Amino acid sequence: MTRLLIRGGRLIDPKNKVDQELDLLVEKGKVAEIGKDLTPDEDTEVLNARGKVVTPGLIDMHVHLREPGREDTETVESGCLAAVAGGFTAVAAMPNTDPVTDNQAAVGYLIREAIRAGYARVYPVGAITRNIAGENLAEMGEMIKAGAVAFTDDGHCVGDAELMRKALSYSRVFDVSIIDHCEDPALVGSGGMNAGLVATRLGLPGIPSESEEIVVYRDCSLARLTSAKLHLAHISSGRSVEILRNFKAEGVRVSAEVTPHHFSLTEEAVEGYNTNAKMAPPLRSSEDVAALKKALADGTIDCIASDHAPHHYDEKETAFADAPNGIIGLETSFPIAYTELVEGGVLDLPTLIMKMSVAPAAVLGVPGGSLGKNDPADISVLDIKTRWKIDKTKFYSKSRNTPFHGRSVKGRAVATVVGGRVVWRKLEVREPSD
């Protein structure tokens, strides 16, 4: 089959201002034709998208694939399969692997593994510093030549302001984003959750939101100083949003992402010492959640990214203080975002699609987020009508550390197309009655 016809779906392509029922024909991995009632020939595979939404492939720009080093929790293959099952055609892979992705060989490895797996595309994010030790710059140029799209020491904050300044300044050679995990480690201390009433009651050390806000302010100031591109990972606090809004208004080149867990859960999720509510930065207050939603609506926050962080069952099956930070998100990101934001009246669906495809593609400087003629055929086919319950036992990811098990949601991938190939489809694609 040389062609693919996606028929009868509601095509939402915000970049090209399309939102209507249209057929989409794919040929040789690119969008060939868009129109009404396109007819397939015998060489065309037909994908029935009636009653479904057809969008530019969703891109998750913050994913930990755990390979190399922790293949017991996830691999490039399992992570990319989880991605397409979640509706993502591409992911940006974080460098805090073992060994760290701080050189061209490691970057090349990830890209090759992703191609071999044949599911989602992987855009490696290289480390800012060698071994993420926070001391010496890693070879950005060599990594970019090998396919890296941005740089971060994620997992760690770039603690030294002068180093951050140099990294931002140097990145201007390539005009790529420097991504920071904004958390002052000294203020975080041994904290495992948001500082507040719940932490006091549970007897757990708390992390004040100032630990993030201070670094947000610092990084935005340095971005202004260097005129570099800065991206703030997983913003969790309402005050961070205010700071960001002001710097954006000044014209500083800063973008930001938020995770679905940060806009759908609060610190109350930690009740009962739930280690699947433990992540960095922590879940915060309902005021913060409201501010994050508002920031998505007014554009202060550009992207939604999951911070998919697989952990082994044994690691999370322990006392709260001893559990590692992080939860998986590739297979819950779209349903949570759709239910909380679109059903919740915060964003309309085209805007949500922008946050999950157009904006991440722009920040990373990669193709995507558009389904115009000749655009790469990375396409998500989504069901937004059926209510379903998240079931972690059915995840494609190797890991199960999610707080969303059992949650009733709407929004689900039913087929995912990468480079014109249907790389994943949900087994029972029920056709709703016309």
Partner 1 sequence: MTQTMLFNRKHLLGLEELNREEIQLILDTAEPFKEISERQIKKVPVLRGKTIVNLFFEPSTRTLTSFEFAEKRLSADTINVNISQSSVVKGETLVDTARNLEAMRIDMVVIRHSSSGAPAFLAERIDSNVINAGDGWHEHPTQGLLDMLTLRDHFGKLKGLKVAIVGDVVHSRVARSDIWGLRKMGAKVGVCGPPTLIPGRIEELGVKVYPHIEDAIAEADAVNVLRIQLERMQSNTFPSLREYNNLFGVTSKRLEQAGRDVLILHPGPMNRGVEIDSDVADGLNQVILKQVTNGVAVRMAVLFLLAGGMPAAAAQAASMRDS
Site of interaction with partner 1 (CB under 8 A): 195-197, 199-206, 272-273, 314, 317-322
SS3 at position 303: strand
- CA dist 394 and 126 (Å) reads 31
Three-class SS of residue 14?
helix
User: Catalytic: 307?
Assistant: yes
Nearer to partner 1, 287 or 322 (CB): 322
Token couple for 64: 């930990």
For partner 1, give the closer residue by CB, 90 or 270.
270
Between 260 and 282, whose beta carbon lies closer to partner 1? Answer: 282
Tell me if the bond preceding 68 is cis, omega within 30° of 0: yes
Task: Please say whether the dihedral angle defined by the alpha carbons of residues 63, 68, 73 and 77, taken in this order, is positive or negative.
Answer: positive
To partner 1, the closest distance from the beta carbon of 213 in angstroms equals: 16
Q: Pick the closest to residue 282 from 180, 160, 199, 400 (CA basis).
A: 199
Comparing CB distances to partner 1, the nearer of 16 and 274 is: 274
Quote the CA–CA distance of 265 and 336 in Å, as a whole number.
10
Let me know: does 97 contact 67? Beta carbons within 8 Å: yes
Separation between Cα atoms, residue 368 and residue 365, nearest integer Å: 9
Tell the residue number behind the tokens 């995840």, with chain if given: 395
Each residue of 392-416: b (16+ CB within 10 Å) or e? beebbbbbbbbbbeebebebbbbbb
Please identify, using beta-carbon distances, which residue of 227 and 318 lies nearer to partner 1: 318
Measured from the CB atom, the residue of 199 and 349 that comes closer to partner 1 is: 199
What is the nearest approach in angstroms of partner 1 to the Cβ of residue 322? 6
| Alpha carbon 77 to chain centroid, angstroms | 17
Q: Which is nearer to partner 1, 322 or 343 (CB)?
A: 322
Query: DSSP readout, 161-215?
Result: HHHHHHHHHHHTTTT-EEEE----HHHHTT--EESSHHHHHHT--EE-THHHHHH
Phi, then psi, of 431 in degrees rounded to 5: -90, 120
β-bridge pairing 177-180 and 229-232: parallel
Catalytic residue selected from 13, 23, 153, 307: 307
Placement of tokens 């009733």 in the chain: 408
Closest CB 190 distance from partner 1, rounded Å: 10
In angstroms, give the least distance from the CB of 273 to partner 1.
3
Q: Are 89 and 118 in contact, with CB atoms under 8 Å apart?
A: no
| Shortest distance (Å) from residue 312 CB to partner 1 | 12
Which residue, 207 or 295, has its beta carbon nearer to partner 1? 207
Residue 319 CB, nearest distance to partner 1 (Å)? 3
- Give, to the nearest 10 degrees, the angle between helix 104-117 and helix 76-85: 50
Least distance to partner 1 from the beta carbon of 238, Å?
17
Residue pair 168/231 in contact by the 8 Å Cβ criterion:
no
Nearest to partner 1 of 199, 258 (CB atom):
199
Residue 290 CA to residue 102 CA, distance in Å, equals 37
Buried b (16+ CB within 10 A) or exposed e, 193-220: bbbbebbeebebebbbbebbbbbbbbbb
* Minimum separation from the CB atom of position 287 to partner 1 (A): 14
Compute the least distance from the CB of residue 138 to partner 1, in Å. 33
Catalytic residues: 307
